[in-house]
Amino acid sequence: AFAKLNAKKEQRDIKVTRSGRTEMISIYDVLAGDIIHMEPGDIIPVDGIFVDGSDVKCDESSATGESDAMRKTPGAAVMKALESGQPAKNLDPFVISGAKVLEGVGTFMATSVGEHSSFGQIMMSVRVEIEATPLQEKLGKLAMAIAYLGTTAAGILFFVLLFRFVGGLSGDNRSASEKGSAFMDILIVAVTIIVVAVPEGLPLAVTLALAFATTKMLKENNLVRILRACETMGNATAICSDKTGTLTTNRMTVVAGTFGTTSFVHADSANSDKDKTISAWASQVSPAAKELLIQSIAINSTAFEGQEDGKPVFVGSKTETALLELAKDHLGLVSLSETRDNEQVIHMFPFDSAKKCMGAVVKLPNGQYRLVVKGASEILLSFASEFAHFETLEAEPLSEEHRQVLTDTINAYANRSLRTIGLVYRDFPQWPPADAALTEGGSVDFASLLRDLTFFGLVGIQDPVRPGVPEAVRKAQKAGVTVRMVTGDNMQTARAIATECLIYTEGGLVMEGPDFRRLSTEQLDEMLPRLQVLARSSPEDKRILVTRLKALGEIVAVTGDGTNDAPALKAANVGFSMVSGT
């Protein structure tokens, strides 16, 4: 099943130029020397040298671990720079297999394919030989001991009968054939004991039992890739679980928001006269505020319009699609593509996992440039020095008192198990800004813009806990298995969800990834028994957690739903790769 699944997953056609003709061929048919065309979103299948293109940037994090977008320079331009004596340190003509094209279009010449490519070498290095399970190893040793005992008993019996046979030959009047037949009977008895004593079918019986278990698990939508995982999971003592899509449904909906002095909640959760429903709030939004909201939600987004069962839907990050549904249902967003076409988008800043935010630059009708940023609310609030009145968009300095009010609102949303997303902006008279730092490629450094921002508002997004999760956690804990939650959400949201799932209990420890990373090995070992929730964590944090738990003698199971969880899944004793989620 896995062979068919992998073959189907890997099979795709790519556009190449070969012998002067451009055609679509399978990635399995690519040869060194082919000219391969690449576009945004493509996964590079082979190694090569960049030939020609326009502003091509690649994400090589899967191969190098670096999340920066790498700008590609044509090989001819690099050679020209080298020949002329110009510095070429920052010029990169190499295209690495496994990388993803982020932007730009171009072509490159294939130089290494298959197991000779960098991605192929990585895949060859992580191949594992089929190993016996712990139970199979124990049964193998037991079978060998029984075999030695049976062989010893057979040998003793053979020699006893043989001595008895030889001792009686002097008075034996039987014919030679009868004597030979008697000797063969002795030999057969000894061989029979050996055959009966050696339990050669014992390890095979375990294999068949595990194979039967995998078949039964397949009926429950669990596809077992490594047979020994069935047995190992039965001995698990710790589970490190992701939140989004694993403990929760990953069906996100905007249910609350605060903009200036106005706020709204979902109609089903309005619990005071002060709270407005989303519809009542949206009907009073001014044109200027609505324009800024559309820019923050629709323009500053990587989601797009698609179809599901013949109905139009938004495709992309669940957080972004929840915001787009809000804009569509209440802010008059009709067509996402038309809205983007009607705006002059100057630059897009992809999601920065370190800053937990993303941004876009839009040129305004008055000639100014507006940077809109959305992301983790408490982080964006720390970058803000002003706040905007929602009705007029007039900005004024953000006092410590008002900052505390916003912080309390964020915490209140988080304590209701809501994911909080902040919206901020900043207007510039020119682009690039005069005080902005530039990257080595000449583009504006996103991090240098994250200061003196104007806080515009925040929304609370609900991601309900999956039915049955609290009961499943209770059963695991009753069986002696410690369940820990590892998530990228902030501490308050993580604690609220963990409490709802019965993971967080009184006396447990909740920690954020940056603090977790700074601990020494001794401090980690002392703290881990009480750790129940790890918030604002990175994939490396999860890997460190799994590694230390294993070092303490725990049998660790990990759930993951993306390639970023691969290090932890690989490090764990048992890895659960979730089909749905982020």
Annotated catalytic sites, by residue?
242
Q: Do residues 51 and 109 lie in contact, with contact meaning Cβ atoms separated by under 8 Å? A: yes
C-alpha span between 335 and 342 (Å, rounded): 11
Residue 323 structure tokens: 């915001």
Residue 126 structure tokens: 């992580």
First to last CA, the chain: 24
Of 290, 341, 354, the residue nearest 539 (C-alpha): 354
For 89, 236, 440, the CA distances from 83, given in Å and listed in that order, are 13, 60, 21
For 205, 213, 575, the CA distances from 209, given in Å and listed in that order, are 6, 6, 21
C-alpha span between 555 and 235 (Å, rounded): 7
| DSSP class per residue in 199-247 | -TTHHHHHHHHHHHHHHHHHTTT---SSTHHHHHHTT--EEEE-STTTT
Which backbone phi and psi does 364 adopt, to 5 degrees? -90, 160
Q: Do residues 143 and 203 lie in contact, with contact meaning Cβ atoms separated by under 8 Å? A: yes
Q: Which residue's structure tokens are 């209990």?
A: 505
Which backbone phi and psi does 218 adopt, to 5 degrees? -60, -35
| DSSP class per residue in 390-459 | TTT--EEE--HHHHHHHHHHHHHHHHTTEEEEEEEEEEESSSS-TT--B-TTSSBPGGGG-SSEEEEEEE
With b for 16 or more beta-carbon neighbours within 10 A and e for fewer, the 475-500 pattern comes to: ebeeeebbbbbbbbbbbbbbbbbbbb
Q: How far is CA 161 from the centre of its chain?
A: 69
C-alpha span between 540 and 567 (Å, rounded): 8
For 7, 10, 36, 369, the CA distances from 25, given in Å and listed in that order, are 16, 13, 10, 44
C-alpha span between 273 and 416 (Å, rounded): 19
Q: Which three-class secondary structure state does DSSP give residue 8?
A: helix
* Cα three-residue angle 405-406-411, rounded to 5 degrees: 100
Q: How many CB atoms lie within 10 A of CB 92?
A: 17
